[in-house]
Structure 1
Amino acid sequence: MSKQLVVQVGQYSDKGRKAINQDFHGAWLPAEPQLSAKGVAVALADGISSSSVSQIASESAVSGFLADYYCTSEAWTVKKSAQRVLIATNSWLHAQTRQSQYRYDRDRGYVCTFSALIIKAATAYLFHIGDARIYRVVGQQLEQLTQDHRLWVSQEQSHLARALGVNQQLEIDYQTLPVEQGDTFVLATDGVYEFASPAFISQTIAAQQSDLDNAARLIAAEALAQGSDDNLTVQIVRVAQLPSPDAAGNRLNNQAGAALPLPPVLEPRMLFDGYRIMREVHSSSRSHVYLAVDEQTGERVILKTPSIDLGDDPAYLERFLMEEWIARRLNSPHVLKPCVAEHRREFLYVATEYVEGQTLRQWMIDNPKPTLEQVRGIVEQVAKGLQAFHRMEMLHQDLRPDNIMIDSTGTVKIIDFGSTRVAGLMEMGSPQLQEQMLGTVQYSAPEYFLGEGGTSRSDQFSLATITYQMLSGKLPYGTQVAKARTRAAQNKLVYQSVLHEERDIPAWIDDVLKRALQPNPLKRYEALSEFVFDLRQPSAAFLSRTRPPLLERNPLLFWKSLSFVLVMIIAALLAW
């Protein structure tokens, strides 16, 4: 039986010797599937004494973070999810200050420090702004994991260098570290760690393993007894159990319906789960694809069923279910959309919209010499589909003409997600989810053949390869990319110009493709939108390189300029 993540949290906060408590803290221990998808979150904010509304900022920061973090997409990484929430929180706090009586004195406005610890699978993620601290207990001592953002004016006087709500722009310290069962973390404000010794804190936690709330209370009491004149907040986080490697995949499968039986072999006119089977569209050793009609709505749909021969392979089933999971999290007219389930499923399959049209492969056969505008129109639509993937921190990884459909209206759609890599799921630790699914070798980026992880520039390479093929009818490097398995071999790859006598292709188009098809991903376009933009007009860099000299453009102006320079030199010599 697979194990899930178990985290124990103890917390305590008190105003101490101050009139009010400007600290705020919170923790969220969700149930499945959020536990595997997003992890456990613990957050702490410390208001500053110069502000009379800082406690509002602290409460808003912590409660908003814990609520909004779990509303972000499961496809996003912890880093992207948390940073997006914190940036939004910072903007809101800064706006509150700008609209208040404290707009000219930001130290009295809606500002606070913030520290958060998120534990997902077997990794701890730390986010930090200000001077609250996050420690890890190591034996009888504490290992400080965060750096204080405090600027010291003198030995006695200092002020915060960074805090939430101070500036429009937010700089967040971020780090990750592996965790093991039994690891213990401590989050504390300066009213605690400046007065309670590390030895006392670690010994108290060790003595109060069964009651971490009491441990936090005793630590705060010790700081108060030692003379602390600030608010006192302590949070203790202990990793009681780590999830087993297959736990994330099993929960994802159960959520998606992997417990359902495999469907039988489907035949035309057969009634299956409320669908009337029309015909088989495609069949392979891995799946079967059918055209069907929904008996309830009358709409035509595509049903994809898993291979019966691979029904006992959990890794295969996990990847099969992932396609629908991914499709439900993408919203683009240029990405195949899943069908909304109108009736209960009795078998395991995937239902998607039916695209009436042809694959890009067939379109290329039917249009061996397309116009440049036709190519641009297709590429721009595919790029919009890819950008929908990239916004969700997904990489398609298998973009090729067979996975692109063009419907009867000319709308282009990406239709297959079998090799898609989802960054947020990679963090869940499932071996099946982390397995690299390399796409078709002719269109795969060179870095995949070095065993490196892909980026959005890898999908850019695949799209540029398709663009090149539409314009020339061949591949930019032939079959050499798949054979180049070392960096040295890839550096020897020679780009073949897309220009030839039979096609009217501007020279700057070749320059765009050459850059997007660089074997080194760092030499490609930084963003897919740049590649698409440059397909419409020559870049300034290209124009400056190819601009003819002044002598060729305007001989008269050249000789006039030269004569003027010579006259000035002669005049200077005569004056000297």
Structure 2
Amino acid sequence: MAGRGDHTTVPGQFPAQGLRAVLGGWSGAGTKPRNDDAISGRIPETAYEMQVKGAIACIADGISTGLNSDKAAQISVVQFARDYYSAPESWPVRDCAGRLLNSLNSWLHAQNRSGSPDAEGMVTTFTAAIARSTTLHIVHIGDTRCQRLRAGRLVPLTEDHSARFMGGSESLTRALGAEADIRVDYAQETMAEGDLYILTTDGVHDTLGEAGMRDRLAGLPQESREDLEAASRALCQAALEAGSSDNVSCMLLKILALPSETLPEAHRRLTAQVIPPAMKPGNRIDGWEVLEVMHSSTRSNVYLVRRAGEDGRFVLKAPSQNFAENLQYLEGFTLEQWVGRRITNSQVMKIRPHEDSRFLYYIADFVEGETLRDWMKAHPKPSIAEIIPVLASLISAVRVFHRLGMVHRDLKPENVIIAEDGTAKIIDFGSVQVSGFRDLERGDKEELPEGSLNYIAPEVLTGQGAQPLSDLFSVAAITWEMLAGRVPFDLEERTALPSRPADWAAGDFAALRPDLPPATGEVLSRALAFSPKDRPEVMSEFLGEMRKLQGRAGTRPVFVPLLQRGSRGFWRGWALAATAVAAALAVALVALLP
């Protein structure tokens, strides 16, 4: 909820596990005829949204000389808060806020340049505080402020974008809508229980100062929405009584509790559902009938299933009971369900929502086709032209994850299905790293994905974290294997992972495929570089380099015996001609004899 006027209320306390916060605010025109300030905030009503999105408080102050600056302030706080909760959860907070503010700025700037009196002067400052997990994220432009009150000490968390010109009064140097391009400040800090975050416009903080604000907040109740609304109003009224001639607005965000899941708590949460025992054809679970055991290992069991009332066949995947105590694997399985339910793309296996069950499993659409491993067995020595359609489709599928702020981390031939039309589809994503969730993970969680080491990028194996170029490394390793029939790095048999960049040299590709252009090895080796900065910047660059190799032939000379060159007709003609020449020479020699 947002407001612009003499009184504004915002959603209050949500008594959820994990992060708990309360929010309250007040905004008034003060001595001015119009209120150019606006505030907005939200505390989610579901535990899930509170966990993945957190609580948000926004404040804006339209420039007083703008004809429509009040509209700019109001639109900014309302639209930012609304779009933040609508954006994919997988986006990191910083990226999400940056996209939203750039979009807002572009729209406001376009309105200012439209020439319409109804849109002129749409310029505003903006500050937002987003409390998520144990971190406060702050985005800021202009001279609205965010400050933190902790243990009686008030600390500023933003810097004003203003300057004094020619000895005159302070003027804004940055604001939403003022220019086509903007620079937004971003900061983050670790929160503590009991923190009070204070967002104010200059009508409040310029008049009261830090000491005045701190002293007036001391001793005021701060445990409920009503408490914070009353405290916000008291602060604004104090500014007016102290002589403020501007609009006055304040938002207060109080942190009551922070998430602190212990290992026992995590174990109880992740083992609340029972892992089903290994099944065989004819067995049933929650109405799903097993038709075929598609895969069974120490890690998981995968079945082809059907159920009355459901059209078609589906895949049921369940963890193996061997991993009942492995929290890392169970978290990965839970994340795989989350990812599969949120990605809707023909190149990614869709995981279907299913009713609550006491068993831990998920249901996915059945993907027809053969695995990339089977495709490679059927094409043991393909040309570059043959692999390009598969490679292009695989890269297209991987980019689906990247666009949502995810890194797959475990790409391998067994995780890719090649459909009848040649489209590559990814069917396993239990090791996906969601960029937007990294601050939600417990510190004890092991970051190394439990996949085949032969395809995982060095930076992931050495614990430096994954990035989209880590998936490029995996794609290049798969491409090398498609063409050469073997992986560039065989790490499965090693007792220790290579630690030096020199140990990651891919080897002589030309010796494995002398019939392909020599540049093939160079292109692959670059994508397989130890350091991500030495790889192509984007996957499309790697694909483009591979495509350029299609029309080239190998340039290494290969010795062919003379008698094997040419056709039979050529050699027959050559023999007849040679016979005729020999006969002519014989006649000439006879004529020369005395």
- TM-score bin (small chain): 0.7 to 0.9
What is the aligned residue count?
531
Determine the C-alpha separation between the residues in 2 that align with 1:156 and 1:2.
Answer: 50
> Does the CA contact (< 8 Å) of 2:23 and 2:42 recur in 1?
no
After superposing the two structures, state which structure 1 stretch, 384-393 or 87-96, moved more.
87-96
Instruction: Determine which of 386, 392, 397 is the counterpart of 2:409.
Output: 397
**1:269 is matched with which residue?**
282
Partner secondary structure for residue 509 of structure 2: coil
- Cα distance 1:124–1:502, how it changes in 2: closer, same or farther (>3 A)? closer
**2:373 is matched with which residue?**
361
> Does the CA contact (< 8 Å) of 2:368 and 2:419 recur in 1?
yes
Determine the C-alpha separation between the residues in 2 that align with 1:332 and 1:482.
Answer: 39
Determine the C-alpha separation between the residues in 2 that align with 1:526 and 1:438.
Answer: 26
1:484 Cα deviation after fit: 4.9
1:13-71 residue CA offsets vs partner (Å, 9 max, x unmatched): 11111111100001101122110010000000000011121000111100111111111
1:250 Cα deviation after fit: 6.4
**1:130 is matched with which residue?**
142
Instruction: Determine which of 329, 335, 339 is the counterpart of 1:326.
Output: 339
Determine the C-alpha separation between the residues in 1 that align with 2:321 and 2:491.
Answer: 33
CA-based RMSD: 2.9
Partner secondary structure for residue 117 of structure 1: strand
**1:560 is matched with which residue?**
none
- Cα distance 1:321–1:477, how it changes in 2: closer, same or farther (>3 A)? closer
**2:421 is matched with which residue?**
409
- Cα distance 1:253–1:86, how it changes in 2: closer, same or farther (>3 A)? farther
**1:548 is matched with which residue?**
none
Structure 1 unaligned segments of length 5 or more: list them. 540-576
1:533 Cα deviation after fit: 2.0
**1:559 is matched with which residue?**
none
Query: Is residue 77 of structure 1 aligned with residue 72 of structure 2?
Result: no
Instruction: Determine which of 93, 103, 106 is the counterpart of 1:88.
Output: 103
> Does the CA contact (< 8 Å) of 1:131 and 1:160 recur in 2?
yes
Structure 2 unaligned segments of length 5 or more: list them. 1-14, 551-594
1:291-337 residue CA offsets vs partner (Å, 9 max, x unmatched): 12333234121111222343355543332222121111223222212
**1:181 is matched with which residue?**
193
Query: Is residue 441 of structure 1 aligned with residue 456 of structure 2?
Result: no
Query: Is residue 521 of structure 1 aligned with residue 537 of structure 2?
Result: no
1:501 Cα deviation after fit: 7.4
Instruction: Determine which of 101, 109, 113 is the counterpart of 2:116.
Output: 101
1:398-477 aligned at under 5 Å gives the runs 398-431=410-443, 435-477=447-489
> Does the CA contact (< 8 Å) of 1:23 and 1:231 recur in 2?
yes
Query: Is residue 22 of structure 1 aligned with residue 27 of structure 2?
Result: no
1:373-409 residue CA offsets vs partner (Å, 9 max, x unmatched): 2211111111111101111111111111111111233
Determine the C-alpha separation between the residues in 2 that align with 1:250 and 1:299.
Answer: 36
Determine the C-alpha separation between the residues in 2 that align with 1:370 and 1:147.
Answer: 60
Determine the C-alpha separation between the residues in 1 that align with 2:108 and 2:267.
Answer: 38
1:449 Cα deviation after fit: 2.9
Matching residue's letter, 2:66: S
Determine the C-alpha separation between the residues in 2 that align with 1:138 and 1:467.
Answer: 55
Query: Is residue 238 of structure 1 aligned with residue 254 of structure 2?
Result: yes
- Cα distance 1:109–1:442, how it changes in 2: closer, same or farther (>3 A)? same
> Does the CA contact (< 8 Å) of 2:349 and 2:364 recur in 1?
yes
Partner secondary structure for residue 102 of structure 2: helix
- Cα distance 1:85–1:252, how it changes in 2: closer, same or farther (>3 A)? farther
1:459-491 residue CA offsets vs partner (Å, 9 max, x unmatched): 1101001111111122334439994554xx124
After superposing the two structures, state which structure 1 stretch, 225-234 or 500-509, moved more.
500-509
- Cα distance 1:394–1:482, how it changes in 2: closer, same or farther (>3 A)? farther
Partner secondary structure for residue 455 of structure 2: coil
Matching residue's letter, 1:18: K
After superposing the two structures, state which structure 1 stretch, 140-149 or 498-507, moved more.
498-507
Determine the C-alpha separation between the residues in 1 that align with 2:73 and 2:16.
Answer: 38
Instruction: Determine which of 229, 238, 242 is the counterpart of 1:213.
Output: 229
> Does the CA contact (< 8 Å) of 1:449 and 1:485 recur in 2?
no
Matching residue's letter, 2:245: D
After superposing the two structures, state which structure 1 stretch, 69-78 or 507-516, moved more.
507-516
Determine the C-alpha separation between the residues in 2 that align with 1:452 and 1:23.
Answer: 44
- Cα distance 1:39–1:251, how it changes in 2: closer, same or farther (>3 A)? farther
**2:66 is matched with which residue?**
51
1:371 Cα deviation after fit: 1.6
Partner secondary structure for residue 128 of structure 2: strand
**1:171 is matched with which residue?**
183
1:412 Cα deviation after fit: 1.2
> Does the CA contact (< 8 Å) of 2:38 and 2:77 recur in 1?
yes
Determine the C-alpha separation between the residues in 1 that align with 2:16 and 2:196.
Answer: 23
Matching residue's letter, 1:10: G
1:225 Cα deviation after fit: 2.4
Determine the C-alpha separation between the residues in 2 that align with 1:318 and 1:286.
Answer: 13
After superposing the two structures, state which structure 1 stretch, 436-445 or 180-189, moved more.
436-445
> Does the CA contact (< 8 Å) of 2:448 and 2:461 recur in 1?
no
- Cα distance 1:316–1:500, how it changes in 2: closer, same or farther (>3 A)? closer
Determine the C-alpha separation between the residues in 1 that align with 2:151 and 2:428.
Answer: 51
After superposing the two structures, state which structure 1 stretch, 457-466 or 313-322, moved more.
313-322
> Does the CA contact (< 8 Å) of 1:123 and 1:178 recur in 2?
yes
Query: Is residue 347 of structure 1 aligned with residue 362 of structure 2?
Result: no
After superposing the two structures, state which structure 1 stretch, 275-284 or 22-31, moved more.
275-284
Query: Is residue 8 of structure 1 aligned with residue 19 of structure 2?
Result: no
**2:394 is matched with which residue?**
382
> Does the CA contact (< 8 Å) of 1:253 and 1:321 recur in 2?
no
1:101 Cα deviation after fit: 2.8
Query: Is residue 283 of structure 1 aligned with residue 299 of structure 2?
Result: no
**2:164 is matched with which residue?**
152
- Cα distance 1:136–1:538, how it changes in 2: closer, same or farther (>3 A)? farther
Query: Is residue 338 of structure 1 aligned with residue 354 of structure 2?
Result: no
Instruction: Determine which of 48, 68, 86 is the counterpart of 2:83.
Output: 68
**1:200 is matched with which residue?**
212
Partner secondary structure for residue 351 of structure 2: coil
**2:590 is matched with which residue?**
none
> Does the CA contact (< 8 Å) of 2:328 and 2:446 recur in 1?
no
Identity of aligned residues (%): 34
After superposing the two structures, state which structure 1 stretch, 274-283 or 530-539, moved more.
530-539
Partner secondary structure for residue 218 of structure 2: helix
**2:132 is matched with which residue?**
120
1:89 Cα deviation after fit: 1.7
Matching residue's letter, 1:143: V
> Does the CA contact (< 8 Å) of 2:278 and 2:320 recur in 1?
no
Determine the C-alpha separation between the residues in 2 that align with 1:493 and 1:319.
Answer: 28
- Cα distance 1:363–1:184, how it changes in 2: closer, same or farther (>3 A)? same
Determine the C-alpha separation between the residues in 1 that align with 2:61 and 2:318.
Answer: 54
1:492 Cα deviation after fit: 4.9
Determine the C-alpha separation between the residues in 2 that align with 1:153 and 1:293.
Answer: 74
1:503-534 residue CA offsets vs partner (Å, 9 max, x unmatched): 43223333321211110111111112221122
> Does the CA contact (< 8 Å) of 2:484 and 2:513 recur in 1?
no
Determine the C-alpha separation between the residues in 2 that align with 1:429 and 1:495.
Answer: 34
1:538 Cα deviation after fit: 6.6
Determine the C-alpha separation between the residues in 2 that align with 1:335 and 1:379.
Answer: 15
1:54-93 residue CA offsets vs partner (Å, 9 max, x unmatched): 0001111001111111111122221222222222222222
- Cα distance 1:35–1:482, how it changes in 2: closer, same or farther (>3 A)? farther
Matching residue's letter, 2:218: A
Partner secondary structure for residue 548 of structure 2: coil
Determine the C-alpha separation between the residues in 2 that align with 1:118 and 1:463.
Answer: 36
